[in-house]
Amino acid sequence: MTVRRPDVVVLDYGSGNLRSAQRALERVGAEVEVTADVDLAIAADGLVVPGVGAFAACMAGISAVRGDVIVDRRLAGGRPVLGICVGMQVLFARGVEHGVPTDGLGQWPGVVERLDAPVLPHMGWNTIRVPEGSRLFADVADERFYFVHSYGVTDWALRSDDPNRSPADVTWSHHGQDFVAAVENGPLAATQFHPEKSGDAGAAVLSAWVRSLA
């Protein structure tokens, strides 16, 4: 019997790393389309929101393709969304770059700010601290993952009693200070690191997410 491959849309809003994300997801068993088509993005088994570069530029691109509507509609129906790097950052309430605030998608409270670290960007492999019960990191909690960023969320403010959100599993890392490395929050998940650049460990995270779509 042929097993159906989950269909995943990588949202094309002008960001980079689209094809590398596509290839990585295909390698772990997904049928992947890179598109900005609203109907396809809403209907797919899974949606990936990638992102590299500046928070404000990514938000402008997302808004231009109605990505805010797509994410809202999917989450309202309990349909999985995965954010990667700046694609994770834009899920928070706002980002502040060079003193200028930009509204994010507001799925989680919190502010994306420049890390207080002796060397930026934070570029390279780093360890993570995974909460008990994580699905994405069940087999790779002790592995290293590849980060490239200067900004992050250092204060997690989501209340576990929020009636609109299930309690979130928050994974942390450290570069100068603690920052959020990943979040698993019902149908909404995200990683600050690049799983598509993180070798076997990153592939295991993507594979766990793709399996959850079945």
Q: What is the pLDDT of residues 117-154, one digit of tens each?
A: 999 999 999 999 999 999 999 999 999 999 999 999 99
pLDDT: which is higher, 162 or 118: 118
Q: What does the domain layout of the chain look like in residue ranges?
A: 7-212
Q: What is the mean pLDDT of the chain?
A: 94
Q: First vs last Cα of the chain: how many Å apart?
A: 15
Report the catalytic residues: 85, 194, 196
Among 151, 150, 89, which Cα is nearest to 121's? 150
Tokens of 104: 């994010």
* CATH number assigned to the domain covering 7-212: 3.40.50.880
On the question of pLDDT at 2 being above 70, the answer is no
- Measured distance CA(31)–CA(28) in Å, rounded: 10
Question: Sign of dihedral through CA atoms 132, 23, 9, 95?
Answer: positive
Task: Answer for the pair 207, 29: CB distance below 8 angstroms, yes or no.
Answer: yes
Round to whole Å and give the CA distance between 175 and 163: 33
* pLDDT class of 32 with cuts at 50, 70, 90: very high
Residue 162 has pLDDT above 80, yes or no: no
Residue 166 banded pLDDT, cuts 50, 70, 90: low
